[in-house]
Amino acid sequence: MTRLAPNRRVSVSIPCDMLVFGGTGDLALHKLLPALYYLHRDGRLHPDMRILALARQPLERQAYHALAERRCRAQVARADFDAATWQSFAARLDYFAMDASQSADFSRLAKRLNAHRVQVYYLATAPDLFEDIANHLALAGLAGPQSRIVLEKPIGHSLESAKAINAAIGAVFNESRVFRIDHYLGKETVQNLMALRFANALFEPVWRAGHIDHVQISVCETLGVENRGAYYDQAGAMRDMVQNHLLQLLCLVAMEAPVRFDAEAVRDEKLKVLQALRPIDGLDVQDLTVRGQYVAGKIGGQEVPTYYFEKNVDNDSDTETFVALQAEIDNPRWAGVPFYLRTGKRMAKKSSEIVIHFKPTPYRLFHGGAANRLRIRLQPEERISLQLMAKTPGKGMRLEPVELDLNLAHAFQQKRRWDAYERLLLDVIEGDSTLFMRRDEVEAAWAWIDPILRGWHEYYQSPRPYPSGTNGPEQAQSLLSLQGRSWQD
């Protein structure tokens, strides 16, 4: 069973090897190794677990240790980094130079591994390597019944490519051993969303069309494409963020209560939401979606360049760095309730949140006042707040909104909040797939996204420019304002 409160000690019952393909990349060095360091420090890894980083660079073990230590020091809080702890962690960590496209290198790898141990293969690589790696693992005899494989998003770039990847992986690993990771699902507040809904009688009765006016889901970043220009210019915000992160958040908001809190029951309910999404195709693409691309502006007082002047980006690029859209779910619970999704780079502030806007009271005794609003913030801080109307002090009956605010870090008095990758890596080691995407989920998401991408192409819907440091193109505001609503900024 997945932990909603991961502060109790866990013992891993069996030793395993975790092999990280792409071991010199940003994901491995900035996210995976720091998460594994914390799990090691907190005694959550089996004493005999080993970590093997795999990449093309011809590095000796000590050189990789130096690289990993430098990157981990930059990512781990200064108070949490301890030299002795690092040395004991480094004793688990090894490096193996290989080319993931060459079958001969997998034969060499097989000689390094113990066939009787559980092998966890983490593919922190480009998706176009997923099929080759799976096939080479099988040919080298490294895909035994105890082995597991972890795939980073995006799984393909379309429904057709996602099906091809899933089929190739499925030919080697059965579905119970495939972990498609979305780190948003490992965030504490995201899991608290399920607790909030299904463990509190206050919310479940009103969590439906009769009481909710609309829902907003926003993932806004102040960063640009950084060192990911070559990848991002091929993907864009729709493939990079909406197809996975935002649709997964939508599923958790909209799903029915699972019959059990286990992997299959939870994922069954999420799949039903994806299948109930009303298609956006044809001319609806122009009315219900907005593409944007950032131009020069200021972030934190610093000048930043236009998107197409970023490193490894085509100077004629029409890739979107911003998407806003209106989705609707055709089922009894949500009929008529719009879900507004928005994500963008170089925005005014960094913020990921879900905002549930309730309908106003049918009889306004006090002539005015805002409707109730539930805000679930994922970052920069994790908190849940409920806006209520209250009387202001003094004469008369003048109302103002006030917030009931739950700061999760303060509520549970934890010294440090778990990073999403810590929780998800531990789930992989323990074989718990509740917080991972199933094959049919991924394909259902692509089936909904593909017609939008085609519509943009067929109707030449170029991205609208927006200055860096703003809240996106004006057309994104109109998406709501035409219906008397506004983004919660």
Residues designated catalytic: 245
Closest CA to 255 of 265, 244, 245: 265
Q: Identity (one letter) of the amino acid at 305?
A: P
Let me know the angle formed at the C-alpha of 366 by 365 and 368, rounded to the nearest 5 degrees: 115
Strand partners, 390: 400
Closest CA to 253 of 340, 182, 180: 340
How far is C-alpha 23 from the chain's CA centre?
Answer: 20
Q: Identity (one letter) of the amino acid at 151?
A: L
User: Which pair of tokens denotes residue 70?
Assistant: 């430098």
Q: Which helix (H) or strand (E) holds 42?
A: none
Count CA atoms closer than 13 A to 320's CA, side-chain side. Answer: 27
Q: In Å, how far are 279, 281, 295 from 460, measured between CA atoms?
A: 19, 14, 20
SS3 90: helix
- Whether residue 450 contacts residue 159, with contact meaning beta carbons closer than 8 Å, is answered with yes
CA gap 228, 230 in Å, rounded: 6
User: Which pair of tokens denotes residue 386?
Assistant: 């409920």
457 DSSP assignment? H
- Whether residue 460 contacts residue 179, with contact meaning beta carbons closer than 8 Å, is answered with no
CA gap 193, 141 in Å, rounded: 42
116 DSSP assignment? T
Taken in order 314, 315, 316, 321, the sign of the CA dihedral is positive
Count CA atoms closer than 13 A to 330's CA, side-chain side. Answer: 6
SS3 151: strand
DSSP tally for the chain: helices H, then strands E: 16, 17
